[in-house]
Amino acid sequence: MGQTILASFRWLGFGFLDPLVKLFQGIEPKKNGALFLKKAIIPILSIAIFLGVANFFSSYLYNIERERKIEKTRETQGDEAALAMQECIDSGDISCKPNSLPSPADVWRATQTLIADHRMISTDKAEFKTRTAAVNAQRHAQGLSSIRYTGRPSFVDQIFTSLKTVFAGFLLAAFLAIPAGIVLGLSETLRTALNWIIQIFKPVSPVVWLLLVSMVVKTILASADMDKSFVISFISVGLCSMWATLVNTSVGVSSVDKDYLNVSKVLRLGVVSNVFKVILPSSVPLIFTGLRITLSVAWMVLIAIELLAQSPGLGSFVWEEFQNGANDSNAKIIVAMFVIGGIGFALDRLMMLVQKAVSYESKA
Amino acid sequence: MEVLTEEKIMLECRDIKKAYPTPKGDFVVLENFQLQAKESEFVSIIGHSGCGKSTLLTMIAGLNDITAGAITVANYPIQGAGPDRAVVFQSPSLFPWMTSLENVLIGVKQVFPHATTNQRLEICKYYLSKVGLADSFYKKAKDLSQGMKQRVGIARAFALKPKVLLLDEPFGMLDSMTRIELQDVLIDVWSKEKITAIMVTHDVDEAIFLSDRVIMMTSGPYAKVGEVAHIKLERPRNRKTVVEHPDFYKYRQQLLTFLDH
């Protein structure tokens, strides 16, 4: 039992928590306690230092903004107004709060606001559902589409929308890049003939992809009744991020161990079994390395694309908050930044686990 | 020396030449190389590193082109690689994502396309048991030790029922204890099947213990057959009686003297 927990923690990549787990299980408490302190102190210290620096820097910027604001009031409205402004700022009244980099405390408050906001919207939604349940059942019986909740999405909803878009884009990338990579890997001629496409399109910025995709989608889906901005953004994400998988797959397929190919020749395997039983399994590790890069690139460009495509999600959340300019908007942007980073990290870990599971190499 | 009649010859290499083109003209590895192997004969080829013995073996296997000359198996010229010339590679070259059974089975499927699944499995299991892997059918090849991998390699080669068995320094990557074990496994399986075998090695004792004939190659370039030793130790051979046999040291002396210069 204890061993399973340890093993699964290690498998998940939390090997550094070993001493803590052992501590809870009561194995060698002295030694593991010391080990845990040693391993935990540095991360905790680094977080504390980070928060300290952030706090110092934000209060430094805040003071500059404060002085500037008071000075400006003095210039335009005279000494009395400046004094009033100074009092107003120092009293913590949000109406005259200078707009600058939020402090860690501001970010924490914004996080709580966002969570509260999500709770509120969820209850609102649930109420809406119960209220419309009868009507919707009626409409359903008549063959009409049901009434949908059209209120503002909460922050958590935005996260899920973004995840949906990134997975759609990722799947598109995988479906395009893996077969294309296999074909390119198998044929030296095609590889040299089409190399220019990869070399030219790989470095193209997500913004340009978005414009290109919207040019096409605008025409094709002109009359279709569907969410165009979602289609545009997921296709752009896919096209931006597929190149790593394409290149890795073709490298994997074209560089299969010569020994395996010799065995395949001696056994006179046919083309199909050669590809599916020898070449593909042996390039699986490289293909998954490519997919892992693709997913992290997809997540990175997604935010930029959403921001521009006006498609709902974290990117548009950030953009709307920036445009909004409310007194806690900046703090909300920082919250979004950490959420984006955290999700990116989690996605990468997830892909790493999948990669480990499918890899035939006997790595520890 | 016994005259070899046509029908008894399983493998013949006639006037083999292998040259690699270089900017300064051809680099000739082998020239005028002759080799005949009878049915059920075990021939070892020994020589210094780089003398072209492995090149020769890959040419017989059909994995490497010959520049001039002809190779025939049972009087038919070879065409590319094929399961009639099974190879035991130096690195076992198993597919690591398959179990040991699957590694053998993939070849058996090619050689016995009309057999039922059960018959094929029987063949695979028979040979795997023969090499001492009766309890490792379903282990992934990546989880096997180097010695066990080479056991699978041997089983895979025999299971193809080849006309000629080609062994390319099959024990070169193993430690000496495992090497001795595997030589015993090989001689044990071989003595039942009596497949014509060509083995490349640079281990003198291994060559004597396993072979009917040891061909000593001169150092390259332009390598050719230097000397031939006919090993007339009685079969089936047993390591203990072989090393106690006075002729063993005679052969050993002969080989070492040749390799010494």
Q: Which CATH class is domain B6-260?
A: alpha beta
Across A140-154, average pLDDT: 79
Measured between beta carbons, the chain A residues lying within 8 angstroms of B96 are 360-362
Judged against a pLDDT cut of 80, whether residue A291 lies above it is answered with yes
Taking the Cβ of residue A281 and every Cβ of chain B, the question of whether any pair is shorter than 8 Å is answered with yes
Confidence bin at B227 (pLDDT 50/70/90): confident
**Quick check: A262 and B63 CB within 8 A?**
yes
Q: State the pLDDT at residue B5.
A: 57
How far is the first Cα of chain A from the last one, in angstroms, to the nearest whole number? 21
Taking the Cβ of residue A260 and every Cβ of chain B, the question of whether any pair is shorter than 8 Å is answered with yes
Judged against a pLDDT cut of 60, whether residue A206 lies above it is answered with yes
Measured between beta carbons, the chain A residues lying within 8 angstroms of B142 are 360-362
Taking the Cβ of residue B93 and every Cβ of chain A, the question of whether any pair is shorter than 8 Å is answered with yes
Q: Nearest-CA distance from A306 to chain B in Å?
A: 41
The minimal CB distance from A267 to the residues B97, B107, B140 is found for: B107
The minimal CB distance from B97 to the residues A262, A265, A281 is found for: A281
**Quick check: A260 and B93 CB within 8 A?**
yes
* Range scoring the smallest mean pLDDT among A6-15, B24-33, B125-134, B171-180: A6-15
Taking the Cβ of residue B95 and every Cβ of chain A, the question of whether any pair is shorter than 8 Å is answered with yes
Taking the Cβ of residue B96 and every Cβ of chain A, the question of whether any pair is shorter than 8 Å is answered with yes
CA distances from A275 to A44, A50, A251, A281 (A): 50, 51, 14, 9
- At A118-146, the pLDDT tens digits run 899 888 888 888 888 888 888 888 877 77
The minimal CB distance from B61 to the residues A260, A266, A281 is found for: A266
Taking the Cβ of residue B119 and every Cβ of chain A, the question of whether any pair is shorter than 8 Å is answered with no
Quote the CA–CA distance of A267 and A283 in Å, as a whole number.
20
Domain ranges of chain A: 2-96, 102-150, 153-358
Q: Nearest-CA distance from B233 to chain A in Å?
A: 33
Q: State the pLDDT at residue A35.
A: 78
Q: Which two tokens stand for residue B55?
A: 């090149």
Confidence bin at A346 (pLDDT 50/70/90): very high
What is chain B's mean pLDDT, rounded?
Answer: 88
Decide if A57 contacts A102 (C-beta within 8 A): no
Judged against a pLDDT cut of 50, whether residue A82 lies above it is answered with yes
* Range scoring the smallest mean pLDDT among A14-23, A40-49, B154-163: A14-23
Q: State the pLDDT at residue A363.
A: 41
Confidence bin at A105 (pLDDT 50/70/90): confident
Q: State the pLDDT at residue A308.
A: 83
Q: Nearest-CA distance from A256 to chain B in Å?
A: 11
Judged against a pLDDT cut of 60, whether residue B167 lies above it is answered with yes
Q: State the pLDDT at residue A14.
A: 67
Decide if A224 contacts A247 (C-beta within 8 A): no
Judged against a pLDDT cut of 50, whether residue A161 lies above it is answered with yes
Across A238-258, average pLDDT: 92
The minimal CB distance from B89 to the residues A259, A267, A361 is found for: A259
Measured between beta carbons, the chain B residues lying within 8 angstroms of A280 are none
Q: Nearest-CA distance from B162 to chain A in Å?
A: 11
| For chain B, percent of residues with pLDDT exceeding 70 | 97
**How deeply is A278 buried, as exposed, middle or buried, from its count of CB atoms within 10 A (0-12, 13-18, 19+)?**
buried
Q: State the pLDDT at residue B1.
A: 47
Decide if A110 contacts A335 (C-beta within 8 A): yes
**Quick check: B110 and A267 CB within 8 A?**
yes
- At B115-161, the pLDDT tens digits run 899 999 999 999 999 898 999 899 999 889 999 999 999 999 999 99
Taking the Cβ of residue B63 and every Cβ of chain A, the question of whether any pair is shorter than 8 Å is answered with yes
Measured between beta carbons, the chain A residues lying within 8 angstroms of B82 are 266, 268
- The residue of chain B nearest to residue A274, with distances taken between CA atoms, is B106
Taking the Cβ of residue B47 and every Cβ of chain A, the question of whether any pair is shorter than 8 Å is answered with no
Q: State the pLDDT at residue A57.
A: 93
**Quick check: B87 and A262 CB within 8 A?**
yes
Judged against a pLDDT cut of 80, whether residue B199 lies above it is answered with yes
Measured between beta carbons, the chain A residues lying within 8 angstroms of B61 are 262, 266
Mutate to test the interface with B, among A267, A283, A284, A361 (most CBs of B within 10 A): A267
Q: State the pLDDT at residue B3.
A: 55
Q: State the pLDDT at residue A150.
A: 77
Third-level CATH fold of A153-358: MetI-like fold (1.10.3720)
**Quick check: A266 and B80 CB within 8 A?**
no
Taking the Cβ of residue B20 and every Cβ of chain A, the question of whether any pair is shorter than 8 Å is answered with no
**Quick check: B96 and A265 CB within 8 A?**
no
Q: Which two tokens stand for residue B82?
A: 């094929």
Measured between beta carbons, the chain B residues lying within 8 angstroms of A285 are none
| Higher-confidence position of A78 and A240 | A240
* Range scoring the smallest mean pLDDT among A106-115, A205-214, A222-231: A222-231
